[in-house]
Amino acid sequence: MKIEDYFSEIQAVVNSCPAVRLTNITFEKRGTYEGFIRGELFFVDNSILHFREFIDVEKTTERLMYAYQYVDHSKKLVFRYDDTGHHKGAGIPTYPHHKHEGSEENVMSSRAPKLREILEEIELHIQV
């Protein structure tokens, strides 16, 4: 797969979500197989998903870095998934993958979700 194909997949996932009201997404090609995606998705209840992915699709779809931060209409953190290495000593079995739920301090184990799964979780919060 080429990076443009992955970019198209991401755009299709976003377009298929009925709760998304407005998008602001940039796709940066960093080679034939690598790219960086940064975006904001604005939902019908005025909540926002801020996300970024650095991806390599040469052999498999491998996210080299990701963060998905979802905030409610008042900008309060609902959840954030990321693979930042700032919780190394916290005993998280899925390190560096983790989830913050409701606050920065509430950190739990998590696998690395895909954007489609994030949007499904958001739809449960919004109840579209």
Q: Is the pTM of this model over 0.75?
A: yes
81 pLDDT above the threshold of 80: yes
Three-state DSSP state, 45:
coil
Nearest C-alpha neighbor of 29 from the set 61, 9, 60, 7: 7
Total domains present in the chain:
1
89 pLDDT above the threshold of 70: no
pLDDT digits (tens, 9 = 90+) for 18-65: 999 999 999 999 999 999 999 999 999 999 999 999 999 999 998 999
pLDDT digits (tens, 9 = 90+) for 95-127: 888 999 998 888 889 999 999 999 999 999 897
Planar angle of CA 119, 124, 128, nearest 5 degrees: 90
Domain residues for the domain of 96 are 3-126
